[in-house]
Amino acid sequence: MDRDGNVCLYDFEPFVDSIPGMGRRLDHLTDNERDNRVVNLGLAHEKCNRKKVNDYDMKLVALDKYRENVSQLVKAQREGVGVGEGQKHTDPGLDELTEGDVNQIINKITKLELETKLPSDSDDAISYNKTLRNIH
């Protein structure tokens, strides 16, 4: 809460538990629900958390927040902030966000966006995998 404040990551409105959908929820920024590291969590309204499942723009906002969180963590590690003398705080499995990590996340978002935009039940349908191979 200290890091993210008392407003939703997506619509910047305050949390109001007494209004349906406006309560506070932890959101997995990369949509990997098994990755419960603090850098992969953000605060969102219940309604925004549900909407993000199919919203390309919200997924990009979440990815930007994830990158920001990782950058802050890496900076804190380099400066030794909050770490005892001679010790280095490490987040298991996290040195820095690699280009491969970013590409995987972007590919997942792109796949979702293509699947929602392209027809899937016609003879004119385009295979996501075939499209992706042609893009690279």
Per-position pLDDT tens, the chain of length 136: 567 788 999 999 999 989 999 999 999 998 888 888 888 899 999 999 999 988 989 999 999 998 888 888 878 777 765 444 444 444 444 445 566 766 677 677 666 666 666 656 656 666 666 666 655 4
Sequence-distant (6+) residues with CB within 8 A of 116 are 54, 56
Structure pTM? 0.57
- Kindly report the backbone phi and psi dihedral angles of residue 106, in degrees, each rounded to the nearest multiple of 5, phi listed first: -65, -40
Collect all residues with Cβ–Cβ distance below 8 Å to 108 and sequence separation of at least 6: 31
pLDDT for res 116 = 61
* Sheet strands (E) in the chain: 24-28, 41-45
- 100-103 contacts at long range (C-beta below 8 A, 24 or more positions apart): 102/63, 102/67
For residue 27, the cross-strand partners are: 42
pLDDT computed for residue 72 by the predictor: 83
Contact (CB, 8 A) for 1 and 8:
no
pLDDT number for residue 83: 41
Q: Are 79 and 45 in contact (CB under 8 A)?
A: no
Task: Look at residue 32 in the predicted model and tell me its pLDDT.
Answer: 85
Per-residue model confidence (pLDDT) at position 59? 92
Q: Give the per-residue pLDDT at 122.
A: 58
